[in-house]
Amino acid sequence: MLEFIEESHTYLYEGVIIPSVSEILHFIFPNKYKDVDKEILNKKALYGSKVHEAIECLEQDKTLPKLDQNQEFSLYQYKRLKDKFSIKVISQEQMINYNDDYAGRFDMIVEVNDELSLCDIKTTAVLDKEYLSWQLSFYELAHMSMYHTKKFEKLYAIWLPKGNYGQLVEIERKSTSELLRVLKEFKESKEVNV
């Protein structure tokens, strides 16, 4: 059974710690946030978490959390994109595991104009499509492995930059061979550091 410990952002499979997609992404992009002050990173993470929480509550018809003006605007932009692209949420916050090599939790499986797609919500000022390409592709690979499904029609980001208009952005996927190559390099680097 796959478990997630929120405080330490740790995934356990049958009691054994397994790496997260975030750890693999840090391996691919080791210096992504090196020049950003930790306090600023924490504020941005809290902001994004609150927007995610509001969207999750909205989709489950639950009471929305208290939002500031910018977060309310992001939620409005999300609703606007849902209407514009006929987005229907199928599943949210689903944990995945790829052969006990890594685990993660993706934001959404959605239908966009009737196409089954994997989607991530981002509130960053700049959308890093390359980072998202790896992130969503690793999620997709695990989902296909766990549920014996084919690839999603498309991969998307619902981009809700603070105080700006939201966009639905299609993300290119990485090939399975690229993902397995990086996963092998990641595992080898972990063995060297043990």
CA within 13 Å, CB half, 35: 1
pLDDT in the model for residue 79? 96
Q: Which two tokens stand for residue 17?
A: 């710690």
CA torsion angle 96 97 101 105 (round to 10): 20
DSSP assignments along 8-69, one per residue: TTEEEETTEEE-BHHHHHHHHSTTTTTTS-HHHHHHHHHHHHHHHHHHHHHHTTPPPPP--H
pLDDT in the model for residue 192? 62
pLDDT in the model for residue 77? 96
Cα angle: 41, vertex 80, 43; to 5 degrees: 10
Cα angle: 40, vertex 104, 84; to 5 degrees: 75
Blockwise average pLDDT, block size 10, the chain, 194 residues: 78 85 92 72 85 95 94 96 96 92 94 95 94 97 92 97 93 97 92 62
pLDDT in the model for residue 5? 81
Q: Please name the fold of domain 19-192.
A: Trna Endonuclease; Chain: A, domain 1 (3.40.1350)
